[in-house]
Amino acid sequence: MTSGDRPYLRSAIGKSLYEKIKSDEQLKLMDKSQWYAVDLSQVDPSHAELFLPLGVDDETEAFLERCHEKSDWIFSQLWHSVVKAVLTVFMTHTSVNGLLRRGSMFVFSRRQFVRLLGVTGRWRADRLLDLGSGDGSVTQIMAEHCDRVSVTEISSIMRSILHGKGFAVLDVDTWHESPVRYDLITCLNVLDRCDRPLTLLQQMRAALKPGGLLVVALVLPLAPYVEQGVNANHKPVETMDPGGSTFARQVSGVINNVFTPAGLRVERWSRLPYLCEGDLEQAFYWLSDAVFVLRPESEVTETRPEVTEPRPEVTEPRPEVKEPRPEVTEPRPEVTEPRPEVKEPRPEVTEPRPEVTVGSCPAGLDVPGLAGPRRHPGDASLWGQ
């Protein structure tokens, strides 16, 4: 029996399965290009020109396909639903997902990662620090380009998973006290989930090597929620002001009100879907991520004077080269002027010739020097993130 286009189902499980089938069909047919689109007219022009357009690639599609496959494991999904309902009374959602080995995240593919950094696929770095790594699935993508990888994670269960994957797990509260500096620090969807995001930005900036890069992913529009924090209402101690209400306007707001005061300059940014494995109701879920590649501003402002200050020293001597030129050309009349003086005495030489024939020679005749000495004047741009 059916009622309209919907089958009449008495079972709650049957209804859930029917809704899931409909949802999965819609997800497969949806226009995924909307995940990457940005209305750049709402972004400051200076920020809009730093936008890097990306799109769905093979690795993204592969993750989505795995999500559909896992979502179809009906009995596993039922088991997860029951266990999660019980365990969330005692544990955080992150720890429950780690215990059940579900809820993996996807932020960017390998190809998208290197394009964001502005490097090639062969690029390598020495040290990577990934803050809030979760189960390490995204960390593994970045780790392919780094020799030594360190991570932090607040969930003890997730920390065990990260240890098992071979990452060096640092203490979430004291990692910044170490003298170790990093070529790349990533903070993916953590700033809006921690108590002190502004302090964390300063700590990350200080932990970068000279020339190092910071990658920050932030869900916009901003909706902070601290799972394990000081305030009982899950609000952060430090607040970020994104300005505006739309994704595009908050991109510029975050740059102007959060990154710039922290001494960070945006190299490039993009919009990506923050994907998560689904459940019995839906194959996958997503949020809109703004991903920023940042560099400490001091590295830019301190080096610029070193390049521009010597330039006047190069241009100032140029008049000194031009000034001697008149001194070279001025003697030329002195060379030509004596010529009439040489020609004038010639009649005096020819006139006394009859006297020579009678045995006299004028004393002190200086014929050499008709031509004076000829003078032939000789004229003897930087950077990175």
Residue type, 252: S
Q: What share of the chain is helix, strand, coil (3-state, %, to 5)?
A: 45, 20, 40
Q: How far apart are the first and last CA of the chain?
A: 63
pLDDT of residue 8: 53
The CATH architecture to which 11-307 belongs is: 3-Layer(aba) Sandwich (3.40)
The predicted model gives 213-236 an average pLDDT of 94
pLDDT of residue 7: 56
322 pLDDT band (50/70/90 cuts)?
A: very low
Cα–Cα dist 23/117, whole Å:
35
Asked if pLDDT for residue 334 goes beyond 90, the answer is: no
The domain locations on the chain are 11-307
Judge contact between 254 and 264, C-beta under 8 A.
no
pLDDT of residue 6: 54
pLDDT digits (tens, 9 = 90+) for 162-200: 999 999 999 999 999 999 999 999 999 999 999 999 999
Cα–Cα dist 223/245, whole Å:
11
- The mean of the pLDDT values for the chain is 80
| Three-state DSSP state, 206 | helix
Q: How far is the CA of 226 from the CAs of 145, 175, 185, 189, 223, in angstroms?
A: 31, 20, 21, 12, 10
10 pLDDT band (50/70/90 cuts)?
A: low
Instruction: Cis check for the bond before 242: say yes or no (omega within 30 of 0).
Output: no
